[in-house]
Amino acid sequence: MDPAPIDPSIVDVAEPIKDNLGLPDPARRRLLKAGIDLSAGYPYRPARPLYLQDVYNIRNKERPHNERGAVADKSKSALFSAATKVTDLTTYIGTEIEGLQLKDLTDQQKDELALLIAERSVVFFRDQDLSPQQQKALGEYYGEIEVHPQVPQVPGVPGVTVIWPDLAATERPASFRKPGGASRWHTDLVHEKHPAGITHLHNDTVPPVGGDTLWASGYAAYEKLSPEFRRFIDGRKAVYRSAHKYLDREKPEEGPKFIERIHPIVRVHPATGWKTLWVNRAMTDRIVGLDPAESDLILGYLFDVYERNVDIQVRFRWTPNTSVLWDNRITIHNASWDYGGNYPRHGTRVTSLAEAPYFDAAAPTRRQALGLISEGEIEELLHDGSLPNQQPFLDNTQQPQIMSASDQPAPPSTAQWGPISSHGKRLVWSLQDPLESAISVMPENLDPEAPREPYFQQSSTGSNWHRISQEVLIESTVASVTVESADLSNWASSWALLHMEHADADTDDDNSGDENSSNGPCPGCGELPPREYDTLVVEASDKPYVTIHDYITAVHLWLMSLRQDILESRNVWDDEPPNPDTKLIVCPGAPHYVVIDTEENWKCETKNRYDDLNREETPFDNAGPKGKKRKRDED
């Protein structure tokens, strides 16, 4: 058949690619047995769209998703009783089932399989007699299947993708020396409005040795994080990118760009109700609202949690005619290139799209839900406040207890930390003027370029403070906040690093163990180190919680008294003295740990954050903050 785009609305397409590779014999026999017409060539390639906007709009619509695992019998008796053997391959991830043919499953067994995949992340079936048409039918049972706009397909069976490394190498050669060989850890279709759910890969042809695939558990990766760090990333969102690039119809001269979507970093699986980490090195680009350096640091750590903890991974050795079904919502995966492309490998893949990712703060982790956490973990969670009681372990049919306002517990006396409230995020806080003129208030959409309202307001009836002044400062109400300056807290360590080289060179070994030497002058140049700075405790005044005005009135005067020291701490690496006229802005993202920046930097970063927060409305600017671009691997 002549190549056509997968959506009839697409008219701008690229010249089709012609393939002349010979099919491996096992793949040819399987396809011919299924009645696949190979006379016009194999595989079939749809006409590739040229423009980003066309691809973005293919499935850019709200649609319901029927989660089959949510209605399954939790005992999975129909599925397990029909199998001859069920084996968990590791503690956290991976189960192999023997004695079943996927093409013969009843609807009840399909539902139970969906639940098993949701719990165990990936399920393996060897010796499957399965046609591409039967593979597609199973995928359609689990949801709308993805028809990729440009990857090769089985002729006459749209939605069944061809996975053939020899074919892929004609466009993007793999190499043993390349990191990852042919792939990197990734999750499929993260750029979709409704990303991938269950993927079913059937390999009819595999190397005699090598070519394994690895999966890592998102449930377990999330549980590897400390309760404090979980709380930091819970509810945050990131920008996720497509594997392929397309031209921007509005700016084709800028070259191909990725498709981008914004999704939560931590999501909840609708069948289990468990939280899972959902990032991957290949396609998660940046965290919304953070500076690029901050985002890269945090994402790099999260990627490592997945990739370096072998106890939350499973590595599977393929045999011919094996099917593997995994859930992209709770896993990342990677293919091993240790066979170097020296043997044929061929398979077909069907991916069922799932729900739009969502986060639920009340959802438990897998270990909490199953009652598997140790006494030490329970103590840690109770101390941290992440586990106020053991409600997650109760039957979820029990009704939650409703408390009246008078029954609510009193706020804690102090807060070690906490995210600033949505009202607090609106503050634009200058650190060079008196309080009455130092602060203005952005609109609720946090557009830094929109007109701002003065915090101190004068009218014909007198003077007063902006209406947000009495709003809560921190999202979880607290009666006091202990505040420190990030610049002043880091000054001593920066000073020590600066003086380390000549201090070490001139230090007498007899004095190297002096307990007080760190508080004395530098032995090399005689310069005194920065003094220690006290923290500031802000108490609630008229309300039972710290208000924005409580915080501002105390912290502004305190910071103004330290302004010259802050300038010097920021200038520690420069030879020139600090400019006393430098315009500084207070960035109260975490009220306990005050970060100061220059007005110029603040404007730039605030604009970038605003653009990221509104990225879904204008998805085609793929350069990212400060025009940074990154190379991405294909699925």
Ordered DSSP codes for 555-567 = HHHHHHHTHHHHH
Within 10 A of 210 (CB to CB), how many other CB atoms are there? 17
> Which one from 349, 366, 423, 570 is the annotated catalytic residue?
349
User: Could you tell me which residues are beta bridge partners of residue 453?
Assistant: 441
> Which one from 231, 244, 263, 333 is the annotated catalytic residue?
333
> Which one from 54, 111, 188, 550 is the annotated catalytic residue?
188
Which tokens belong to 187? 């999750």
Task: Indicate whether 339 and 473 sit together in one domain.
Answer: no
186 counts as catalytic: yes
Do residues 289 and 612 lie in contact, with contact meaning Cβ atoms separated by under 8 Å? Answer: yes
- CA distances (Å), origin 71, targets 33, 66, 86: 35, 9, 22
In this prediction, residues 353-359 reach a mean pLDDT of 93
Q: Containing domain of residue 81, as a range?
A: 25-353
Peptide bond into 43 cis (omega under 30): yes
- The vertex-602 CA angle with 600 and 603, nearest 5°, equals 70
pLDDT at residue 629, as a whole number: 40
pLDDT at residue 588, as a whole number: 62
In a domain, 485, yes or no: yes
Task: Indicate whether 230 and 95 sit together in one domain.
Answer: yes
> Which one from 186, 200, 261, 269 is the annotated catalytic residue?
186
pLDDT at 318 over 90: yes
pLDDT at 146 over 80: yes
194 counts as catalytic: no
Number of domains in the chain: 2
Q: Is the pLDDT higher at 150 or at 459?
A: 150
Maximum C-alpha span of the chain: 89
pLDDT at 411 over 50: no
Closest to 574 in 3D by CA, of 509, 501, 498: 498
Sheet hosting strand 122-125, strand order edge to edge: 85-88, 95-98, 122-125, 322-327, 196-205, 346-353, 161-163
In a domain, 210, yes or no: yes
333 counts as catalytic: yes
In a domain, 536, yes or no: yes
In this prediction, residues 602-631 reach a mean pLDDT of 58
For the ranges 47-61, 161-175, 338-352, the lowest mean pLDDT is seen at 161-175
pLDDT at residue 339, as a whole number: 76
CA distance 297 to 278: 16
Element (DSSP H or E) covering residue 314? strand 313-316
In a domain, 378, yes or no: no
In this prediction, residues 7-33 reach a mean pLDDT of 76
Give 631's pLDDT tier (boundaries 50, 70, 90).
very low
Q: Is the pLDDT higher at 20 or at 113?
A: 113
In a domain, 624, yes or no: no
In a domain, 341, yes or no: yes
Task: Indicate whether 480 and 333 sit together in one domain.
Answer: no
Q: Is the pLDDT higher at 130 or at 458?
A: 130
What pTM does this model have? 0.62
Task: Indicate whether 431 and 331 sit together in one domain.
Answer: no
230 counts as catalytic: no
In a domain, 418, yes or no: no
CA distance 612 to 619: 10
Give 205's pLDDT tier (boundaries 50, 70, 90).
very high
Give 570's pLDDT tier (boundaries 50, 70, 90).
confident
For the chain, the 3-state helix, strand and coil shares in percent, each to the nearest 5, are 30, 20, 50
In a domain, 499, yes or no: yes
| Coil, helix or strand at residue 506 | helix
Task: Indicate whether 563 and 450 sit together in one domain.
Answer: yes
Alpha helix ranges (H) inside 50-131: 52-56, 77-82, 107-120
Q: Is the pLDDT higher at 54 or at 453?
A: 453
Task: Indicate whether 479 and 607 sit together in one domain.
Answer: yes
pLDDT at 79 over 60: yes
Task: Indicate whether 53 and 184 sit together in one domain.
Answer: yes
